Structure 1
Amino acid sequence: MDTLIDAAALKDQLDRAGESGQRTVVLDVRWALGDPHGYDHYLRGHIPGAVFVDLATELAGPAEPARGRHPLPPQEQFQESARRWGISDGDAVVAYDDSSNMAAARLWWMLRNAGFRSVRLLDGGLAAWRAAGLDLAAGAEQPEPGNVTLSEGAMPSIDAGQAASCGQRGLLLDARAAERYRGEIEPVDPRAGHIPGAVSAPTTGNLRADGAFLAPAELRERFERLGYRAGVPTAVYCGSGVTAAHEIAALEIAGLSAALYPGSFSEWCHNSSNDVVTGAAPYSENAASH
């Protein structure tokens, strides 16, 4: 199944919607850490017909230490949101943002996890649409409610207990910036560093300079260099389970698979019994439990 669609193909798909018989629902997931103004950005300019999705309230439940900063919302709540965005069974969905799909991948993963298979990311995000010289629309879209039926558990995931041993029995990738992995800075969580055994694999390494994903062969080479091997359990985490979904998408583009740790580091580090490692190595003799 395709993970990506480019701007020209999306424009053609939207123009030919009446001919194909399949509706395309375009969703704008404008969100970035430290920028709470995604909806304002959307109102100023978005892909025509795109519906805004609020990551903080529609793709996450309330933050709580035991589950992290962006815990997955209940399945019933997510289905209600998806219907409000206008998604019906049989539709195709394309998600994008203005940050190289770092936020939109969260929606992609959640829909796939909910059993909705026809969902793709706009490769390069809104920047690619602009670069193609395509029109933007202003204001808010008001879609007709959809009737989609969603489930859960269709994508592999792990919990904190499994994350604790993942580095020993398989490969645990940390998708955050390298300086956060090393514990040099930590802008939001109470402890700095990484889960013992994790390998640093920043999501920025999945991208070309223009914000589009690297070619499948390049991505495969990257993940094999990081330690990916067929038959070896692989999982990904980040700060709160958002950008880790971008890494899952990159792995899929490469023809590989991995589980997501939804609670990620924000869940892990709040539990004082969990060790946190600083430095560039997966393990350290100086793991900090407090």
Structure 2
Amino acid sequence: MTANPAILSAAELKSELAGSRPPVLLDIRWQLGGPDQRPAYEAGHLPGAVYVDLDRELAGPPGSGGRHPLPDPEAFGAVMRRAGVSAEVPVVVYDGGQGWAAARAWWLLRWTGHPDVRVLDGGLAAWTAEAGQLSAGRETPAEGDFKPTSGPAGLLDADGAAARARAGILLDARAGERYRGEVEPIDPVGGHIPGAVSAPTTENVGPDGRFLPADALRERFAALGVSGGTPVGVYCGSGVSGAHEVLALEVAGIAADLYADSWSEWSSDPDRPVATGPLPQ
């Protein structure tokens, strides 16, 4: 695999862990609406990895800002320091499923100023497939020194997302049936932001959960209307799978902004327009 600044393979991670500057590992296992994943983490995780709870530590309380609003930066910084994250030490994040939760942590760390954070491509399954060792119980790392710096760069609000759909391209990372408004299992109403293009993030990975090669991702996004110089935005249901699409774009060498509050915020306001059907309009 060619080195990529956003992801790394299990083999690359094993090599780095054995090197002179091993990364801090964060386990972001999570299941939407499912049980707490800490017991699974304690049963077996990458050696040294610290568990971080997406719902409680990578999001603020649900409400008018959606189901997974951004966490308070100071609270997020405290969580990262307790997990051993420092500004000058690389960080690798992983999860046990689709990579969505890991991508949320990757995006938050990047947005708050960490210079070196990557996602383990293929997650826990890729590690175990490489005969990677697992540890049980909890880890207690030394406190890190990471202090978040945040700003508007990389982040869209509702008005910014609507503007991006008009002047640029706005990708909807949810399943196609939710985009079309055929079903909506979670949020108040089905459909999409007018002008947004359906681009399910599940199509950015292969059957093994690993990202498609960068060239294949570039071709996919080009077919969706992403071209050189076009401002790109992404949203999803609540800012989790959308972060995974931003990561896929990064793997392809394409910068994109995230509407982090996403459809769960947009659809909560009855005055905001909603489009349905297979077309952006």
Corresponding position of 1:182:
180
1:136 Cα deviation (Å)?
1.1
Number of aligned residue pairs: 278
Residue 146 in structure 1 maps to residue 144 in structure 2? yes
Contact 1:196-1:277 at 8 Å conserved across structures: yes
Q: For 2:156, what is the secondary structure of its paired residue?
A: coil
Contact 2:87-2:115 at 8 Å conserved across structures: no
Contact 1:115-1:154 at 8 Å conserved across structures: no
Corresponding position of 1:28:
27
CA offsets, 1:9-50, max 9 Å, x none? Answer: 11121122xxx2x34110000012122321121111111111
Q: Distance in 2 between matches of 1:155 and 1:210?
A: 33
Residue 8 in structure 1 maps to residue 7 in structure 2? no
1:165 Cα deviation (Å)?
2.6
Q: Distance in 2 between matches of 1:134 and 1:155?
A: 37
Residue 114 in structure 1 maps to residue 112 in structure 2? yes
Give 5+ residue unaligned stretches, structure 1: 284-290
Q: Distance in 2 between matches of 1:234 and 1:257?
A: 7
Contact 2:16-2:22 at 8 Å conserved across structures: no
Task: Kindly provide the amino acid, as one letter, of the partner of residue 129 in structure 1.
Answer: W
**Which runs of structure 2 are paired with 1:82-231 in the superposition (5 Å)?**
82-153=80-151, 155-231=153-229
CA offsets, 1:38-74, max 9 Å, x none? Answer: 1121111111111001000110000012x11101011
Q: Distance in 1 between matches of 2:161 and 2:146?
A: 32
Give the 4+ runs in structure 1 shifted more than 3 A.
none
Q: 1:76 aligns with which of 74, 77, 80?
A: 74
Corresponding position of 1:279:
277
Q: For 1:95, what is the secondary structure of its paired residue?
A: strand
Q: Distance in 2 between matches of 1:81 and 1:37?
A: 18
1:155 Cα deviation (Å)?
4.3
Q: Distance in 2 between matches of 1:154 and 1:128?
A: 34
1:89 Cα deviation (Å)?
2.3
TM-score, L = length of structure 2 = 0.96
Q: For 2:155, what is the secondary structure of its paired residue?
A: coil
Q: Distance in 1 between matches of 2:197 and 2:120?
A: 28
CA offsets, 1:106-128, max 9 Å, x none? Answer: 00001001110110000111110
Corresponding position of 2:236:
238
Q: Distance in 2 between matches of 1:98 and 1:153?
A: 30
CA offsets, 1:164-197, max 9 Å, x none? Answer: 2322211010001111111121111111111111
Corresponding position of 1:288:
none
Task: Kindly provide the amino acid, as one letter, of the partner of residue 33 in structure 1.
Answer: L
Q: 1:263 aligns with which of 254, 261, 264?
A: 261
Task: Kindly provide the amino acid, as one letter, of the partner of residue 167 in structure 2.
Answer: R
Q: Distance in 2 between matches of 1:154 and 1:43?
A: 36
Corresponding position of 2:40:
41
Q: Distance in 1 between matches of 2:122 and 2:18?
A: 20
Q: For 1:235, what is the secondary structure of its paired residue?
A: strand
Task: Kindly provide the amino acid, as one letter, of the partner of residue 124 in structure 2.
Answer: L
Q: Distance in 2 between matches of 1:181 and 1:74?
A: 29
Aligned sequence identity (%):
52
Q: Distance in 2 between matches of 1:213 and 1:58?
A: 26
Corresponding position of 1:61:
60
Contact 1:114-1:154 at 8 Å conserved across structures: no
1:139 Cα deviation (Å)?
1.2
